[in-house]
């Protein structure tokens, strides 16, 4: 589907159908209110009504906020994709709504049919956003960035949705090289020999039973005079069986999504490089497969992390934090950054705390958490802060090592996982770091808002919003 921004009168638009967004107030004034009443249309949020004889699709909203416009646009595109209309247009009320419309259409209309033997290709090919105000040039920049971010989110979804047989640590590294070549990034890959030399033995232990070699991927986007230097760290478990602490069979389904943090990191650096933002981005990914076998790491093992801290393993299904411990330490040593953000499908406990729609945010800086909360709200993603405290920190103490990889109590699991990562953040970086637990928000089997079945691309939109406005 092609989406474009046009500066012309709506009367000159040649589209097959026009979209009209209507609240209850507009419905009462509409010239089509009688026929809409006959159709039972009440302008409730996310309601739609086709007036085929007039080539109009009426879309109901509670308000003309970005949130409501985004949501109903996703409903509208799904409906349009089931028709034989080839083109559609919508008259823009305000340029600030451009991102909401673009995301509603692009993300709401996303499909992943790579593994389908029969593809269902919609007839709809073009959507035009009509903007007739004088500040059209400034609207073009907003539109361009919105398309780039939406496309990067879809790119992230594609990687998340790729099966573990097709996307394993070596093929993940290959994908990173391809992105680097296409987007002018630098790319460094550490194979297992290089990882051993770097003392990443915690990460290596997790991938030891896999037939696929673990990979540490480092991509860099570096403009001439960057305002800030950002380190993005992603958990890239291309598949997680749970290791010897084997997951129940039903829980293994969808574990291809355990790489969603790494996928988000790729999507973010893709978007930033295409928007040509004046911030330096270093993306670090720990690509690993957690499997079972005679060489698998075990509960009761004590691992020596890259930082030198020792880790008692009491559950091999708490593996992502073991990978991130080494990757975070490596990233801090290699790049002195202004901010460090890690993304990980880290704990089911985060879903228990916040539900499946919301990303958990953890860290020490209240200011930084506030700034990210504002960015996520503007971007249409849901985030919520989970507070650290000294009492929960005691729950990951170990009797035989420096730290334990799971809590000794079944409460506050998302926070104790965040506190585990905090142990590997250097003191001078404590207020520069945030951890994003996207376990619930990164994947869905029940469509909601602009998210369809599968990967959602969680983290891409709100991080791009933050980076666009960084000072």
Predicted confidence (pLDDT) per residue in 335-356, tens digit: 999 999 999 999 999 999 999 9
* DSSP category for residue 431: G
Q: What is the pLDDT of residue 134?
A: 85
Q: Please state, as a whole number, how many other Cβ atoms lie within 10 Å of the Cβ of residue 55.
A: 13
Q: Which CATH superfamily is domain 151-468 in?
A: Zn peptidases (3.40.630.10)
Run of H or E residues at 334:
helix 320-334
**Percent share of the chain, pLDDT over 90:** 97
Give how far Cα 56 sits from Cα of 25, 48, 121, Å.
18, 10, 22
Strands (E), 228-379: 229-240, 280-290, 302-304, 310-312, 339-344, 359-363
User: H-helix or E-strand containing 3?
Assistant: strand 2-6
- Point out which residues pair with 130 in neighbouring strands: 6, 91
User: What DSSP letter does each residue of 345-385 carry, written as one string?
Assistant: ---HHHHHHH-TT-EEEEES-HHHHHHHHHHHHHHT--EEE
Classify domain 2-133 by CATH number.
Answer: 3.40.220.10
Which residue in 324, 288, 325 sits closest to 309, CA to CA?
A: 325
**How far does Cα 249 stand from its chain's mean position?**
26
**What average pLDDT does the structure give for the chain?**
97
What pTM did the predictor assign?
Answer: 0.97
pLDDT single digits (tens) 69-81: 999 999 999 999 9
Q: Does the pLDDT value for residue 13 go beyond 90? A: no
CA 87 to chain centre: 29
Using CA atoms, how far residue 117 sits from 112, 113, 219, in Å, is 12, 8, 34
Task: Indicate which residue of 247, 374, 393, 426 is catalytic.
Answer: 247
Condensed to tens digits (0 to 9), the pLDDT of residues 272-295 reads 999 999 999 999 999 999 999 999
Angle at 40 between CA 35 and CA 46, to 5 degrees: 110
Active site includes 197? no
Label residue 248 by pLDDT band (50, 70, 90).
very high
Neighbouring C-alpha atoms within 13 Å toward the C-beta of 455: 29
For residues 21 and 91, give the distance between their C-alpha atoms in angstroms, rounded to a whole number: 9
The answer to whether 265 and 454 have CB atoms below 8 angstroms apart is: no
Residue 10 has pLDDT above 80, yes or no: no
The H or E element spanning position 86 is none
pLDDT in tens, 122-177: 999 999 999 988 889 999 999 999 999 999 999 999 999 999 999 999 999 999 99
Residue 12 has pLDDT above 80, yes or no: no
Q: Is the pLDDT of residue 9 over 80?
A: no
Among residues 156, 233, 20, which one has the least CA distance to residue 451?
A: 156
Output the pLDDT for position 294.
97
What's the pLDDT at 380?
A: 97
What's the average model confidence in pLDDT over 357-380? 98
Active-site residue (options: 321, 369, 432, 461): 321
> What pLDDT does 14 receive?
85
For 347, phi then psi, to 5°, come to: -145, 140
Average pLDDT (99-121) is 96
For the chain, which residues make up each domain, given as ranges? 2-133, 151-468
Examine the residue annotation and report whether 199 is marked as an active-site residue of this protein. Answer: no
User: Is the confidence at residue 430, as pLDDT, over 80?
Assistant: yes
Q: Report the pLDDT averaged over residues 208-217.
A: 98
Exposure class string for 356-393: b at 16+ Cβ within 10 A, else e: bbbbbbbbeeeebbebbeebbebbbbbbbbbebeeebb
The percentage of residues in the chain with a pLDDT greater than 70, rounded to a whole number, is 100
């Amino acid at each position: 589907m092609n989406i474009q921004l046009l500066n012309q009168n709506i009367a000159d638009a040649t589209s097959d159908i026009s979209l009209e967004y209507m609240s209850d107030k507009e419905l009462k004034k509409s010239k089509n209110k009688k026929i809409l009443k006959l159709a039972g249309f009440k302008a409730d949020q996310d309601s739609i009504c086709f007036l085929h004889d007039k080539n109009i699709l009426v879309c109901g909203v509670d308000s003309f906020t970005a949130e409501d416009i985004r949501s109903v646009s996703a409903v509208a595109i799904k409906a349009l994709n089931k028709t034989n209309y080839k083109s559609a247009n919508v008259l823009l009320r305000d340029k600030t709504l451009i991102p909401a419309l673009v995301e509603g259409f692009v993300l709401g209309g996303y499909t992943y049919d790579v593994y389908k033997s029969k593809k269902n290709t919609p007839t709809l090919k073009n959507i035009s956003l009509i903007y007739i105000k004088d500040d059209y040039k400034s609207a073009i920049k907003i539109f361009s960035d919105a398309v780039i971010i939406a496309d990067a989110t879809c790119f992230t979804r594609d990687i998340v949705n790729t099966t573990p047989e097709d996307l394993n640590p070596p093929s993940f590294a290959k994908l990173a090289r391809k992105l680097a070549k296409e987007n002018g990034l630098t790319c460094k890959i550490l194979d297992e020999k290089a990882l051993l030399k770097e003392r990443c033995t915690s990460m290596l232990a997790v991938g030891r039973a896999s037939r696929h070699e673990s990979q540490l991927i480092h991509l860099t986007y570096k403009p001439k005079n960057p305002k800030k230097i950002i380190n993005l760290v992603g958990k890239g478990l291309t598949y997680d069986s749970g290791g010897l602490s084997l997951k129940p069979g039903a829980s293994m389904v969808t574990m291809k999504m355990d790489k969603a943090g790494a996928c988000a990191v790729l999507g973010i650096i893709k978007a930033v490089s295409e928007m040509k933002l004046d911030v330096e981005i270093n993306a670090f990914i720990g690509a690993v497969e957690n499997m079972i076998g005679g060489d698998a790491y075990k509960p009761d093992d004590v691992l020596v992390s890259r930082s030198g801290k020792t880790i008692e393993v009491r559950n091999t299904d708490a593996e992502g934090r073991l990978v991130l411990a080494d990757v975070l330490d490596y990233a801090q040593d290699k790049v002195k950054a202004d901010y460090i953000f890690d993304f990980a499908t880290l704990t089911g406990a985060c879903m228990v705390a916040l539900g499946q729609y919301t990303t958990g945010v953890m860290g020490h800086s209240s200011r930084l958490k506030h700034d990210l909360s504002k960015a996520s709200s503007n971007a249409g993603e849901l985030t919520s802060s989970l507070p650290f405290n000294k009492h929960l920190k005691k729950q990951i103490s170990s009797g035989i090592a420096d730290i334990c990889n799971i809590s000794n109590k079944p409460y506050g699991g998302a926070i104790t996982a965040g506190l585990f990562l905090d142990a590997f953040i250097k003191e001078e970086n404590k207020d520069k770091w945030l951890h994003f637990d996207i376990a619930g928000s990164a994947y869905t089997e029940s469509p909601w808002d602009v998210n369809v079945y599968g990967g959602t691309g969680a983290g891409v939109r709100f991080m791009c919003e933050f980076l666009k406005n960084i000072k």
